[in-house]
Amino acid sequence: MAFITIAPPAQPGSSDVALSAPTKVSGPFSSLRSVPSHILLIALAIVSIFPIYWMFVTAFRPPSDALSTNPLPGPLSLENFQYVLKTIPIAGMLANTFGMALALAVSQLLVAILASYGFARWDFVGKKALYLLFVGSWLVPFQVTMIPNYLLVSQMGLLNTITGVVIPQLCSAFAVMMLRQHLEAFPKDLLDAGQMDGRSSWRTLWEVVVPNLRPALAALGIMLFISAWNEYLWPSLIMQKSDALIQVGIRGFLGAEGNNWGAIMAASSLACLPIFLIYIFLQRYVVDAFVRSGLK
């Protein structure tokens, strides 16, 4: 939902070129001249990281030290985490949210693979008009359609269920547009070769196209997962009487705990943990996918 793309991304092969640095200008003074740049970037990095650092530092302090202004962690304690685990079923919330985000990422990816293949491979009557449906959908903010969506989910009897959160978002127009651009750049020779081998279009898709697009699909899938995990508006409307998902469950905890900052920071760091782990291990994919959405 949050991302739109208005121009084709770099070709699959050249994406590394776009993000990796050009060859370094060497010379005796190049390192000296870059000192102000380093200072600027360090300052920016500190501003970006300090709140997150502070979240973890506060979470790992003994509750009696919560108001400490010592910038260093000091004696570590797991008491805040134990308190959170005891007070709210946070493990269950994390598992539910993980399942929700995974289901959304997988279904959005599948729907987008099929649709983008249909658009990229054939010319057909009404193609432009149908594609316009996808481009136009980012002009329809979710807040404008939330009442009819809410009523529909309610009629289906899915209020306060995870299914109700998932179902309206099974198709991501953004994913369709991103993948279509990848597929348009897909070598036509490979498709034709598949066809000459007597493969059906269905088998060509799964045996030729998908295996060759694996990096792009992985990047897009991770991005869809992160977006689903961080989605707030729709879960907050649908799950008003349930705290099965982390976004809503922690919101209730924040309200109940008031100024118990140690516990609040512990719960918050748990809410971000899965995304941090993904980022640490798959950083390239994550940055690539999010930034490519904004490349010319």
Q: Between 48 and 82, whose beta carbon lies closer to another protein? A: 48
Q: What are the backbone dihedrals phi and psi of residue 283, each rounded to the nearest 5 degrees, phi first?
A: -50, -45
Look up residue 115 and give its amino acid. Answer: A
Contact by Cβ (8 Å): 108, 1: no
Count other C-beta atoms under 10 Å from residue 205's C-beta.
19
We find the least distance from the C-beta atom of residue 68 to another protein, in angstroms, to be 8
Sign of CA dihedral 210, 135, 9, 185: positive
Separation CA 252–CA 245 (nearest Å): 11
Q: What tokens does 174 get?
A: 């953004």
49 vs 78, which CB is nearer to another protein? Answer: 49
Give the residue with the Cβ less far from another protein, 78 or 127. Answer: 127
Q: Could you tell me the smallest distance in angstroms from the CB atom of residue 11 to another protein?
A: 12
**Residue 98: which residues within 8 A CB-CB, separation 6 or more?**
229, 274
Closest distance of CB 179 from another protein, Å: 11
- State the minimum distance, in angstroms, from the CB of residue 220 to another protein: 15
> Between residues 112 and 208, which has the closer beta carbon with respect to another protein?
112
